[in-house]
Structure formats: C-alpha cells, structure tokens
Amino acid sequence: MMTAPMTATRTLPARIRSISTSPPLAFARKLFRYRQAQLAGAIILVLILAAIFAPFIAPYAPDAVKAGKPLTPPNRAHIFGTDDLGRDMFSRIIYGSRITLRIGVIIVAVEVLIGVTVGLVAGYFGGWTDTILMRFTDVMLAFPGIILALAIVGTLGPGLNNAIFAVALAAWPVFARVVRSSVLSVRESEYITAQHVLGATHRRIMWKGVLPNVLAPIIVLASLEFPAAVLVAAALSFLGLGAQPPTPEWGALLTDARNYIRTAPYLINIPGMAIFVTVLAFNLLGNTLRDVLDPRLRNR
C-alpha cells in the first residue's frame, strides 16, 4: 500500500521541478531544437501574424462581393481565385485565420477551466467528492466526443458561439481525468504535507501547492486538444451547425464550395489545405512538447 505513493514522492516532484523552475527561454531553446517544432512554430507564427494584420494583408474585405469575376481560378489578381459571389478567396482565408485561432483558444481555455477545476478538486479532496465528480466525468466520457458536441449544438441551435461552447463542454472530461491522476501523486508529497502542517487553507494548497506541480501534463494536453478542437469546430461548421454564412470560417467555406467540385475544385482545396496545415502544425508542436515535458509518454 505504502510503496506506490512513496516512489511517486521520490521521483515525480524532482522531474516536475526541473521543468517548472527552468526559465521559459531555456525551455523554448530546448523545444525548438527539434526540427518538427521549428516547422510547426514557423507555420503558427505566420498564422498569428495573418490573424493580427489581416486588414493590412488582405487585398479586399472578406465579404466584399464582386471583388473579381465570380469563380475565377487562382491568378495574379486573386492568388486564391474568387468564389461564386466573386469574393476574393485569399482575403477570406486570411480573415478566416482569426476565427480559427479564436475558436481554438476559447475552446481550450474553457476545457482547461472546467477540467482542471474538476480534476483538482476531485484529486485533492478524494473520498465522496472524488467519486461523484469522477463518475460524472466517466459518463461524459461514455459519449463519443463529436456526438456530444453535435447533441449540444443541436439542442442550443446552430451558430459559431454555440459550436464553441458545445465542443468545450464535450471535451473537458479528458482534462479532469488527467489532472486528477497527477494530483493524486502530488498530494502525497512532503511539501504538500508541510503546507498542511503550516496551516495553509485548502484553496491555497490547491492553487499554489498542487497546481504548479501538475502543469506539465496540462500544457501537453492543451497543446494536443487545440488542433482537435479546431478540427471538430470546422466539422460542425461544415455540417452547417457552426459558423453561418457569410462568416469566412474555413470549415464553412467548404460547405458552399461542394457544389462547385467539378468547376472550381480550388474552392475546396484551399480552405481544406488551410485547416490541414494549421492542425498539422499544432499537432507537431504538441507532440514535441509532450516529448520534452513528459518523456515517459514518448512512444504513446
């Protein structure tokens, strides 16, 4: 009975301490030594710059109809061509990057907020609190993610905000599970016991004592959940349940483009490629982060 927590006390904090005390710069240097991370970082940087400077980069407003002749294939004036209403696809893709990044950030933030709180409380207090919270989490996990998101968005009604909310609400249990199991091993460490002895409140111990020591798995999971969230949200938009026209959300762009699959396949391939490259970049970054922060998971 005693051996498991004992070994955890000896090995875990040392590993985590080396991560949490290393300055961010040194950490970044370690991360970007990997070629995967360099490539991913470059793509993500371009994406962020495109989102910030969209009005300066995009030659037209994203919803300006008749910016060019409708359904013009990519050419010098419109490098990504124009859609059925003559809107400039390049401008729509550039503005779409804002939506994609916003979707990913909000969804992951909500997932972290709910999941980490539930996992932290359940793992820290244990007993009945733990049982009830984790049973609920298990039931949520019994639903396949996208069905739950579809069900929520189907109940609330189509719309980008509802889709964001639905995806976040469907995915937080993963965080709760991971955080809880990390908290269980940290909870038994001597420095937590010491804080109890010093008379710190539960809230203080949870946020200042436990949370910083379970940050590594949270960061890894968040970086892997980001691309997954972008993918599911784009799928919801593609199904007509997320972003509504004329929003230049990348998934929604494909919905209209389907009708022109014979005449203007670039209308499908450009937004499709944009989603693929973005998700790929975040997946590569997430994989590298996991290798650096949590080497035990490398082959998983």
Partner 1 sequence: MLGFLLRRVVVMIPVWFAILTLVFLMRALVPGDPVEIMFFGRASSPEVVENMRHQLGLDQPLYKQYFSYVGGVLRGDLGDSITTKRPVIDEIRDRYPATLKLAVASLGVSVCIGLGAGILAALYKDSIIDTLAMAFAVAGLSMPAFWFGLLMIYFFSVKLGWFSVIPDGSAKSLVLPAVTMGLIASSIVARLVRSAMLEVLGQDYIRTARAKGLTEPRVTTSHAIRNALLPIVTIIGLQFGGLLSGAFIIEAVFAWHGIGELGVQAFAKRDFPLIQGIVLVVATSYVLVNLVVDVLYAFLDPRVSPS
Q: Which residues bind partner 1 (CB under 8 A)?
A: 135-136, 138-139, 142-148, 150-158, 227, 231, 234-235, 238-241, 251, 254, 258, 261-262, 265, 268-269, 271-273, 275-276, 279-280, 283-284, 287, 299-300
Contact between 63 and 74 under an 8 Å Cβ cutoff? The reply is: no
CB of 53 to partner 1, least distance (A): 25
Q: How far is the CB of 84 from partner 1 (least distance, A)?
A: 16
Nearer to partner 1, 167 or 183 (CB): 167
Q: What is the rounded distance in angstroms from the CA atom of residue 91 to the CA atom of residue 133?
A: 46
Half-sphere exposure of 269 (CA within 13 A, CB side): 10
User: Which CB, 8 or 152, lies closer to partner 1?
Assistant: 152
**Residue 145 beta carbon to partner 1: minimum distance, rounded to whole angstroms:** 7
| Residue 196 CB, nearest approach to partner 1 (Å) | 34
Closest C-alpha to 214, from 7, 15, 10, 6: 15
**Between 154 and 295, CB nearer to partner 1:** 154
Q: Please check whether residue 110 is in contact with residue 168, taking contact to mean a CB–CB distance below 8 angstroms.
A: yes
Angle between helices 3-21 and 215-238 (to 10 degrees): 80
Which of these, 142, 103, 132, 133, lies nearest to 115 by C-alpha position?
Answer: 133
CB nearer to partner 1: pick between 213 and 287: 287
Q: Measured from the CB atom, is 103 or 275 closer to partner 1?
A: 275
* Beta bridge pairs of residue 88: 82
Residue number, 55 or 73, with CB nearest to partner 1: 73
Least separation in angstroms between CB 132 and partner 1: 12
The tokens describing 92, both together, are: 């729509």
In contact, 270 and 93? CB cutoff 8 Å: yes
If one counts every other C-beta atom within 10 angstroms of the C-beta of residue 16, the result is 22
The answer to whether the beta carbons of residues 172 and 111 sit under 8 Å apart is: yes
Is residue 227 a contact partner of residue 284, using CB atoms and an 8 Å limit? no
Minimum distance of partner 1 from residue 214's CB (angstroms): 23
Least Cβ distance, residue 101 to partner 1 (angstroms): 16
Q: Is the Cβ of residue 64 or residue 152 nearer to partner 1 in the bound state?
A: 152
